[in-house]
Structure 1
Amino acid sequence: MDIARDLFAFIARLAIGIVLIAHGLQKFLGLGMPMISDAFGRLGIPLPAIAAWFTVLVEIVGGALLILGLLLPIVGVLIALLMAGAAWFVHLPYGLFSPNGYELVLVIGVAALALGFNGGRWSIDHGLLSRFARREPSPAGDRR
């Protein structure tokens, strides 16, 4: 059962990470940062240039870290905060359903938050943490 849980956690991290990276690259390479910053300003997002860079970095770097399973709690919280901001400033007036509703940002934010705190054993975080947890302190007089 552990293998299935870890496999599906990895698949979920992969899927959410790919969606985030795709959206970030679309903003950065496709539309360009000046256009994103202008759009954020028109939407009433505070500090639109900073918010645009924060958004793109969280989507691209956060998506990659989510896939790798590195710094998962921090990444999960950042993505959840980003999606909450997207819901608040953009999607809430349109209701739950797409094309402009908040359903996608809700699912991405909650999934990233859940995966941030339970990303499975197939992650760099798990490998690093389990390596530290296995180290037992040496006896006081043992100097190797």
Structure 2
Amino acid sequence: MFDRLSAYAPQALAVLRIVTALLFLAHGTQKLLGFPAAEWSPGAFSLPWFAGVIEIITSILIILGFFTRPAAFVASGTMAFAYWIAHAPSNFFPANNDGDAAILFCFVFLYLAFAGPGAWSINKK
């Protein structure tokens, strides 16, 4: 029964790509545009500000499926960096240091860097 689902793997990969990038986009817009409402806003040209720029640019590229592999690789590295700089120093456990989302984003984007965009992408081959 589940073998038939394999035929829809490219579409499922595209849904994973789009939904993950939409969630990632919200993190960038929160940092730079204050939407959704944020408790703080990073100063211009600070490390969190640059992270917001990267999050917005890579999210849009990944949503569109345009240069997905390099954009996902950059997004993955950004999340790895964010985890070790902002989350890990406060506590060893990701559930306690609020770093579980950064880890999940890191590895989903790393997967997309290898798997590609799936269906419904601008530069689909």
Mark yes or no: TM-score above 0.5: yes
Cα offset, 1:101, TM superposition: 3.4
- Please tell me the residue identity of whatever aligns with 1:29: L
Residue 23 of structure 2 is aligned to residue 27 of structure 1: no
Corresponding residue of 2:61? 65
After superposing on structure 2, the runs of 4+ consecutive aligned residues of structure 1 that deviate more than 6 Å are none
Residue 26 of structure 2 is aligned to residue 18 of structure 1: no
Cα offset, 1:87, TM superposition: 0.8
Residue 109 of structure 2 is aligned to residue 112 of structure 1: yes
Cα offset, 1:90, TM superposition: 0.8
Higher-Rg structure is 1
**1:95–1:102 CA contact under 8 A, matched in 2:** no
Alpha-carbon deviations, 1:69-125, whole Å to 9, x = none? 111121111101110111111111323333533221111011012112212132222
Give the TM-score normalised by the residue count of structure 2: 0.78
SS in 2 for 1:61: helix
5+ long unaligned stretches in structure 2: none
Q: CA RMSD in A?
A: 2.4
How many residues align? The count is 116
